[in-house]
Structures are given as C-alpha cells and as structure tokens.
Amino acid sequence: MMASSYSGKRVLITGHTGFKGSWLSHWLNARGAQVSGLALAPETQPNLFNELGLAQHIDHRLCDLRDRDALARHVAAIQPEIVFHLAAQALVRRSYQNPVETFATNVMGTAHLLESCFATSSVRAIVVVTSDKCYAPSSSAWGYRECDPLGGHDPYSASKACEEWVATAWQKSFGGKAGAPLIATTRAGNVIGGGDWAEDRLIPDLVRARQAHQSARIRNPNAVRPWQHVLEPLAGYLQLGERLLAEDGKYACAWNFGPEIGAMRPVADLCAALEPVLGLDWQIDATTEHPHEAEFLRLDSSRARLLLDWQPRWSFDETMQLTGQWYARHAAGESARDLCNEQLQKYRNSNG
C-alpha cells in the first residue's frame, strides 16, 4: 500500500500545518494525491509545514473549524473524496488554561466538519484522529481496547472522548443513507519524530533546551507512555482510509494504532535514549504544581493487526535513534525535506 492507491485522489487534511498533518501532507503529496489542507497558521517558529515548503506543493487554506460557514464553503469548493481530520487543540496543559477553547475546537469543530462533509456529495470516507487519552482511566495492565469506556479527567482527554461520541453519532444517525460517507476514528499512542516544535511537549522541550545549552526539566519521569514514530500511525490511517474508500462498512468504527509492548517506557527511558544522540542534559522538575496526567497508557492494537494487517515496524530504540538523528542533522544544516524523504523511504523499505 504505502499510499500509492491515493494517487490522483482528492484528499482533504485538516490540521495540515501541525506536526502530524505536515508529515501526512508531505507523504500523500509525494505519492501523487491532490492534497488540500484546512488549518490555522503554524504556531511555532520553526515549524515543519514551512520547513517542508508545503504551501508551494499543496492547496493550502487557512480556516478555523469553529467557523461553521467558512468551513462549509471550503469543503464544498475542495470536493474531497476522503478527509483526514487531524485539526485539534492537542496540548493537555493548554486545555487546563483554555478548556472552553479546547472543547469548541475538538468537539464543535469536529461536528462542523462532519456536517460539511455530509453536505458534500464527493466525500466517501472520513478518518477522525482522536487520541489514546480518550479512554476513561483504568489500572488494567492489558491495554485499552476499542470497546473500553471513554472519558477523561482533564479537559483535553474529555474533549477527545466527546469527539469520538460525535463521530459515532454521525455515523449511526446519518451514515446509513445512500451515498453517505463512512466514518472511522483512530487512537494513536504518544507520537514522536523529527519536525515537532510544539510548545510544552517532551521532545521539542528537550530539543529547545539543547539548543539553549540548558538542562531540560522533566516533570513526570516515571509516566509510562506508548512511544511510536509518527510514520507508524500515519501508515495505519492510510490503510484504514483505503478500506473506507472501497466502501467496506465494517471498517467504519474505532481503531487503536499503538506500538509494540517494548515501546511502553517511562519518560526517563526516552530521555536516556536521546541523551547520546542529541547531547542533551536533563533533570527532574521537583515542582509539585503540575496538572493531572495519567501515569500509565497502553493501547491494544489487536484489531488493526488482525483486520488491517497493520503492525509497528520500528522498535523503541530505532524510533529514538531516528528521531534524535533528525533533529541533530537538521540543526547541522540538512533540509527537512531531505530528512523526511529519507525516513519515508526507510519506512517503506522496512518489514517490521
């Protein structure tokens, strides 16, 4: 697969100016898709969208998904065949600072998009990207499955659970009509990789500390997360999108895309793995005033393995090496396009 079936397809990506959205836009554009993007302007400098020069290679449009009318006009003009919905307020700590904005973007923005897509006859498939944090907290060591209860203690997690419910409601209420698009939702692990410069996110914080010749401060070193390279879930989204475009309704449901159990590591392990690659220094932040975040997250991706023939290709060590090398080589002057193309080629050639 590896996106070849998207050649010539009209693809809309929301959130295309973000980290994951930029990687996905670049990948699909390289494979011949007619890519359009709807998003806010990039928030950081630098950012992967500009580093890749994507505005010159795709149909780049600025739009706030909270603006229902503007969104509807854009979707109608683009006439996409498939939509990958990645636009979101994606930062946990910011959700504490701006909970209403978080719900407005993640919940109502999704409802606005689905309304626009169902009003546009060209749309055949919609992949809604949520988060592994959409699950209600559980102490189970077996990993969250798609059938487990949704919920969340912080505004971001709760908004992602609501986003899942919105997508399910749309599929069940309106998806049975002739010509209606199929909707699936996806829940990935903690996605990392070169080109992420978001605020208040672990690896970008480490990179910024290194560049400033400072010691990075780690607030929760024992938190266990399902670390995975950005290309892993994106490959899953593309495989899922193929099945939806083929109008196979059994794929219109929720999907986990998580790493191997060996990639379930505490934050301290990630820092230790990147330390020699990036030459960074870090220490534990002893401040107690941190918002609540889950201590343990693990995804069960059995459904994707069995029904999509998807599985992670890169180990924890490979993921850390590739991520660290991307930033180190970029800092040394190599272009983001060359680095991303090299890793895309490596991913296509890997067998898992």
Looking at per-residue confidence, does 223 or 185 come out higher?
A: 185
Task: Tell me how far the alpha carbon of residue 64 is from its chain's centroid.
Answer: 18
Q: Calculate mean pLDDT across residues 25-32.
A: 97
- Residues near 22 by Cβ (< 8 Å), separated by ≥ 6? 16, 47, 48, 49, 52, 54, 195
Residue 198: pLDDT above 60? Answer: yes
d(CA 310, CA 188): 13
286 has a pLDDT exceeding 70: no
| Residue 340 lies inside a defined structural domain of this protein | no
Question: Is 345 among the domain residues?
Answer: no
* C-alpha dist (Å) from residue 105 to 19, 27, 130, 221, 324: 17, 26, 12, 30, 32
161 pLDDT above the threshold of 70: yes
Residue 147 lies in a domain: yes
Element (H, E) at 225: strand 224-229
pLDDT, tens digit, for every residue of 80-136? 999 999 999 988 889 999 999 999 999 999 999 999 999 999 999 999 999 999 999
Give the helix/strand (H/E) hosting 344. Answer: helix 336-349
Where does the pLDDT of residue 279 fall: very low under 50, low under 70, confident under 90, or very high at 90 and above?
A: confident
pLDDT tens for each residue of 37-73: 999 999 999 999 999 999 999 999 999 999 999 999 9
On whether residue 46 sits in a domain, the answer given is: yes
User: Helix (H, G, I), strand (E, B), or coil: what is residue 236?
Assistant: helix
203-230 average pLDDT score: 88
Tell me the residue range of the domain where 256 lies.
10-189+228-262+296-314
DSSP assignment of 79-101 equals --SEEEE------HHHHHH-HHH
**Coil, strand, or helix at residue 309?**
coil
CATH number assigned to the domain comprising residue 163: 3.40.50.720
Whether the pLDDT of residue 1 is over 50: the answer is no
> Does the pLDDT of residue 296 top 70, yes or no?
no
Q: What's the pLDDT band for 306 if we cut at 50, 70, 90?
A: very high
Q: What is the pLDDT of residues 243-272, one digit of tens each?
A: 999 999 999 999 999 998 878 899 999 999
Looking at the domain assignment, is residue 168 inside a domain?
yes
Angstrom distance (rounded) from CA 95 to CA 347 = 33
CA angle 285, 290, 296 (to 5 degrees): 90
For residue 285, tell me if it sits in a domain. Answer: no
Q: Name which residue leads in pLDDT, 93 or 21.
A: 21
In a domain, 321, yes or no: no
With a cut of 70, say whether residue 292 has pLDDT above it: no
Token pair for 167: 């997508």
What's the predicted TM-score (pTM) here? 0.94
Number of independent structural domains in the chain: 1
Predicted local distance difference test score (pLDDT) of residue 55? 98
Q: Is residue 267 part of a domain?
A: no
Q: How confident is the model at residue 287 (pLDDT cuts 50, 70, 90)?
A: low
Share of the chain above pLDDT 70, in %: 94
